[in-house]
Chain A
């Protein structure tokens, strides 16, 4: 099991990196604005598009379009929710609807607020009168918009709050003596799984209780976002847990918790490895110090790469239909997409588990009591 998951992890990481390289390679020829979203009207007036036929289809762009964040949440056909844009510039905060950033053809349009804003490759930039990006002004632009991912994140927070608070209420209502029922009995094994398989083996029974709320929150937040990401339509469809910002934030929290709770012996093992020759100590210190940072970075990349790779796989399979331009391709594409979707269900759980388990492991390493300085520790307490 473990071997297979590592293997799939490798495959996915590789596929993501090859995709990154591929987009770089394509970058030279693709000047088409991001408009080929399914159901969107094909653009008419565009120099780069002029040469191409209306039915032209760029797989890479379509897939990236679906994976990337967006200022509007596409629901069906021509209907999408226009999410609010919140900008912080040198002239202060500014809030407006993202509807104003696109024209009636779903093409990026200039919105004149404190500055002239325009969507450039999905990101809001400040443009000058000629329509070119004003780099200096754009550097001072902070985009706090409620994007598709943020909205999806809020949905997941709402679901988590409703589900878990009602599960907690059930404990209060039915008491301890009766067996869990309904939602409560669905959540309890997962909570117990996190406690007995993740927290206690890695941190130890004595200290695990302190970190349980943190680990449980991380686990459920990743899990719900992984699952929501698998739903192809509203209220899913966003790629929150496959977004580097999301995984980075969680990894930073893990980094903070690990280093704040780290004890003396942990730092000693990093800067001055006990039981080694002094030359080895000097040699190991920078390596261990790098390790402090690579641990959360590996958490960040692992989750991002796995979830993104899963989305890319499913989208690629669906795109086969458009590549072959025949509906019969769906005979192969759809079963395969369903198959990958099944695997993604497993991955959704597995990645939440792995992230939480590694976080617990790092915390466990940081709080572990070593025997050779147990005396010093005991004297302090």
Chain B
């Protein structure tokens, strides 16, 4: 027989028997009290790690969303501020321009009024002067005429003179 070449390749029934006993014992005892709790614990831990990682990922994405939201808000705020400033500036410019215009109009009106008043007063003054001059002229003329026409001859010559003038016309 081939198996009888060497006792090395001839299995002993004793060891086969005891090994079967030992293996089954190990399988049952370790299976129940070692492998089950160990594998369960490892699984639980892995599950925990997985959950934690998923949670962290979720938080991260949430944070990113929040950040982008914040950024959008910030951009919006910035835009609003810019518009506000722009509007304020426009209003201010407008107000300044309006004020300027108003001031100018008022100034113009005042100047015009002043001119009118000046003209009026000038005219009044001129009229007054004219009247006074007229009166003075009449007075002087009266006095002169009075003096010249105090004699009869002079009166007659003058009338003649005037009469001659009328003829010329």
Contacts and interface: CB of A to CB of B under 8 A. Distances in A.
Given A168-B34, A168-B38, A191-B42, A68 B8 contact: yes
Contacts of B30: 160-161, 164-165, 213, 216-217, 220
B12 A245 contact: yes
A197 to B, nearest CB: 14
Contacts of B45: 176-177
B19 to A, nearest CB: 4
A121 B7 CA distance: 9
Contacts, number: 135
Contacts of A86: 14
Contacts of A220: 30
B11 A177 contact: no
Contacts of A360: none
Interface in B14-33: 14-20, 22-23, 25-27, 29-31, 33
Given A154-B22, A209-B39, A246 B15 contact: yes
State the 7 A-B residue pairs at the shortest beta-carbon distance, nearest first: A245-B11, A245-B15, A213-B31, A171-B41, A164-B34, A249-B19, A168-B34
B12 to A, nearest CB: 5
A144 interface: yes
B38 A171 contact: yes
Nearest to A123: B7
B94 interface: no
Given A144-B13, A250-B23, A20 B34 contact: no
A243 B15 contact: yes
Q: For chain B, what secondary structure do more than half of its interface residues adopt (helix, strand, loop), or is it mixed?
A: helix
B11 to A, nearest CB: 4
What range describes how many residues of A lie at the interface?
35 or more
B37 A244 contact: no
Interface stretch (A97-105, A130-138, A145-153): A145-153
Contact of A167 (B13, B19, B34): B34
Q: Decide if the interface of chain A is mainly helix, strand, loop or mixed.
A: helix
Interface string A179-220: 000000001100110010000000000000100111011001
Contact of B48 (A64, A176, A192): A176
Nearest to B43: A209
B161 to A, nearest CB: 146
B9 interface: yes
Nearest to B47: A176
A161 to B, nearest CB: 6
Interface in A292-329: 304, 308
A142 B13 contact: yes
A237 to B, nearest CB: 16
Contact of B37 (A171, A212, A243, A245): A171
A203 to B, nearest CB: 14
A220 B38 CA distance: 14
